[in-house]
């Protein structure tokens, strides 16, 4: 093993390369850099590393769209949505990078336009590297950089999205530290560190999109190398691909909402999440009625209150208790959005005895509950609060009439949805053994 590249560098010099014009579609980035270098006092040397803002490469390659098509552009660049809250989308691009808005950005581009990442950043870096070899007769490394946010850390930093002629990472596995301890998982993202260092002199507002890093020649290669793809974690090794283990605990019963309106698209995505629940016999028992009209919500709640109050009075509930019960259910009236989950059992199997038919229905009820839970969790993941209230299950005929439900739709409670007015209290810790019987 060649250990010289692991020795580090005692010093390095980082300089912003000035003199580049505004990049236009069709421009040759290598030619623009060569022209700037010829007029630069220090020039370029073998072993230098250029950190190039990917945006100028995107402009040269025509990766520009009109701002009004931003949502469509993000969708085009998205291979997988990782997380979403309001208008903020964290998505995996087709390159494998996990970035805000799939790397679509409206900064440092003409007003009314957005930029996408280069289609193949490694290939773009390799073309710039070869172009400089042809024009200046030198061997340099090229890193295309872009700005990334970081989970669990405030702020953004530049990382490498395209690499040519630079060692992407240093793997210290099998080596020993100064105390003689074996290193097992120390894998340094070298090119990311260089990209971040280059950004310190490029800046975001200075109009100098290229930095020259000198003093790290031991990390340059005589070939293009493996590129930034080496830094993309394989999905099988991604411990956070499906979210942390605490996702389900994001769901809390929220009874107080702010006046901020609810985006119906978030509710629709929660409906899709509901359909990921287990389904009996591959049947799909879930239906959701979205009460988006304030007038319809009031009529719906008035009808429920009338029936529930009548039922409770006939059961002997006192006026004081009845008032307390209605106050608890004010969560439905105070919510800016209501959804009535409904169960459809028309596809249930028909058996010859009632006991098996009853069990069959319970299977559908369990599936319905799983679907509602998925629905509530997805709402919470996207920053919305919710409360499931069971009242519609005690007046199903009235609900069917008021909502004009299709035949066979059985109301399974009502979900109040809105932005939480305050942060919920911490959950009380529960002991696992309280819910387990071991045999």
Residue 199, helix vs strand vs coil: helix
Q: Are both 227 and 287 inside the same structural domain?
A: no
153: β partners = 150
Split at pLDDT 50, 70, 90, the class of 431 is confident
Examine the fold and report which residue of 171, 205, 237 is the final residue of a domain before the chain moves on.
Answer: 237
Spatial distance between the Cα atoms of 57 and 74, rounded to a whole number of angstroms: 18
Of residues 85 and 98, the one with the higher pLDDT is 98
Encode pLDDT of 51-88 as tens digits. 999 999 999 999 999 988 899 999 999 998 888 888 88
Does pLDDT of 333 surpass 50? Answer: yes
Q: List phi, psi (to 5°) of 25.
A: -55, 135
* pLDDT reported for residue 24: 94
Do the domain assignments include residue 105? no
E strand intervals along 165-227 = 170-171, 187-188, 210-214
Contact present, 33 and 128 (Cβ < 8 Å): yes
Domain that holds residue 204: 4-63+117-237
- The rounded mean pLDDT for the chain is 90
Do the domain assignments include residue 375? yes
Mean pLDDT over residues 38-52, rounded? 89
Does pLDDT of 360 surpass 90? Answer: no
Mean pLDDT over residues 205-216, rounded? 91
Contact present, 384 and 266 (Cβ < 8 Å): yes
Helices and strands of the chain, counted as H and E runs: 11, 17
Examine the fold and report which residue of 185, 206, 237 is the final residue of a domain before the chain moves on.
Answer: 237
Q: Are both 194 and 326 inside the same structural domain?
A: no
Which of these ranges, 1-5, 10-14, 190-194, 321-325, has the smallest mean pLDDT?
Answer: 1-5
* pLDDT reported for residue 329: 60
Split at pLDDT 50, 70, 90, the class of 267 is very high
pLDDT above 70: percentage of residues in the chain: 95
Q: List phi, psi (to 5°) of 173.
A: -55, 130
Domain total of the chain: 2
Read off the tokens for 372: 């509602």
pTM for this prediction: 0.79
* pLDDT reported for residue 1: 41
Q: Where are the alpha helices (DSSP H) in 315-383?
A: 319-328, 330-334, 354-381
* pLDDT reported for residue 85: 83
Do the domain assignments include residue 406? yes
Do the domain assignments include residue 82? no
Mean pLDDT over residues 115-138, rounded? 97
Q: Are both 30 and 152 inside the same structural domain?
A: yes
User: Position of tokens 């098996």?
Assistant: 356
Does pLDDT of 177 surpass 60? Answer: yes
* pLDDT reported for residue 426: 83
Residue 194, helix vs strand vs coil: helix
What one-character-per-residue DSSP string does 55-81 give? HHHHHHTT-EEEGGGHHHHHHHHEEEE
CATH number at residue 194: 3.30.1330.100
Q: Count how many Cα atoms sit within 13 Å of the Cα of residue 47 in the half-sphere of its side chain.
A: 9
CATH number at residue 327: 3.40.109.10
Does pLDDT of 313 surpass 80? Answer: no
């Amino acid at each position: 093993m060649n250990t010289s590249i692991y020795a580090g560098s005692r010093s390095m010099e980082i300089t912003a390369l000035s003199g580049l014009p505004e990049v236009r579609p069709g421009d040759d980035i290598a030619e623009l850099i060569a022209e700037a270098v010829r007029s630069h006092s220090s020039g370029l040397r073998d072993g230098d590393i250029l950190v190039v803002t990917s945006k100028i490469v995107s402009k040269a390659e025509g990766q520009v769209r009109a701002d009004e098509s931003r949502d469509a552009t993000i969708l085009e660049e998205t291979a997988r949505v990782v997380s979403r809250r309001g208008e903020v989308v964290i998505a995996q691009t087709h390159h494998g990078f996990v970035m805000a808005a799939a790397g679509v950005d409206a900064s440092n581009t003409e007003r009314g336009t957005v930029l996408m990442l280069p289609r193949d950043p490694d290939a773009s870096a390799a073309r710039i590297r070869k172009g400089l070899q042809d024009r200046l007769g030198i061997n340099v490394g090229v890193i295309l950089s872009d700005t990334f946010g970081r989970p669990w850390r405030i702020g953004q930093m530049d990382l490498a999205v395209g690499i040519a002629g630079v060692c992407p990472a240093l793997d210290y596995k099998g080596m020993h530290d100064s105390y003689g301890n074996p290193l097992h998982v120390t894998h340094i993202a070298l090119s990311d560190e260089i990209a971040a260092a280059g950004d310190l002199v490029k800046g975001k507002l200075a109009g100098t999109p290229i930095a020259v890093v000198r003093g790290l020649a031991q990390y340059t290669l005589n070939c293009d190398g493996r590129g930034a793809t080496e830094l993309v974690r394989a999905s099988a090794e991604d411990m956070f691909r499906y979210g942390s283990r605490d996702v389900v605990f994001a769901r809390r019963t929220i009874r107080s909402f702010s006046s901020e309106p609810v985006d119906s698209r978030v509710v629709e995505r929660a409906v899709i999440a509901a359909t990921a629940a287990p389904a009996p016999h591959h049947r799909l028992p879930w239906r959701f009625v979205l009460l988006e009209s304030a007038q319809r919500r009031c009529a719906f709640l008035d009808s429920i209150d009338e029936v529930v109050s009548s039922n409770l009075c006939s059961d002997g509930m006192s006026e004081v208790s009845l008032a307390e019960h209605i106050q608890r259910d004010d969560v439905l009236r105070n919510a800016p959005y209501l959804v009535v989950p409904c169960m459809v059992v028309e596809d249930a199997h028909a058996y010859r005895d009632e006991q098996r038919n009853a069990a069959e229905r319970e299977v559908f009820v369990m599936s319905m509950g799983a679907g509602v839970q998925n629905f509530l969790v997805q709402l919470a993941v996207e920053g919305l609060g919710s409360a499931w209230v069971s009242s519609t299950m005690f007046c199903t005929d009235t609900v069917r009439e008021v909502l004009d439900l299709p035949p066979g739709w059985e109301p399974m409670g009502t979900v109040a949805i809105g932005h939480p007015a305050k942060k919920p209290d911490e959950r009380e810790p529960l002991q696992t053994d309280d819910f387990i019987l071991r045999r």
